[in-house]
Amino acid sequence: MAQGKGKGFGFGLGKIKELQEAFQKAQQVQEGAKVLQEELERMEIPGKSADGLVTVLMSGNQEPLSIKIDPSALEKGVEELSASITEAMKAAYAESTETMRSKMEELTSGLNLPGM
């Protein structure tokens, strides 16, 4: 009977340690995500039309902040101005998406989270 005494107790300790480490990593990510969210809210990411006459500013959270239109863009007509605004918005959106993705990768890199 002496052989069987400790067998039932030892197998779970490694799993408990892994679980504790996973919880600590999750807390780190949660805290980092909160800081990142605040950082993204303060960012001003520009997107410009190809002709450079329209600039859209968007936060890192993809909230539109402002649009700047060069007065000479008005001379091009409504359709071209509309296309320039759309182009600038898409550029700002793409840049903010890339910034957000990059920042999330920085946050989670090195944590070796399973499934990520």
pLDDT tens, position by position, 20-48? 877 887 787 788 888 888 888 999 999 99
Is the pTM here over 0.75, yes or no?
no
pLDDT in tens, 71-115: 999 999 999 999 999 999 999 999 999 998 888 888 777 665 555
**Which residues lie below 8 Å from residue 44, measured CB to CB, with a gap of 6+?**
57, 58, 59, 65
Neighbours of 84 (CB within 10 A): 23
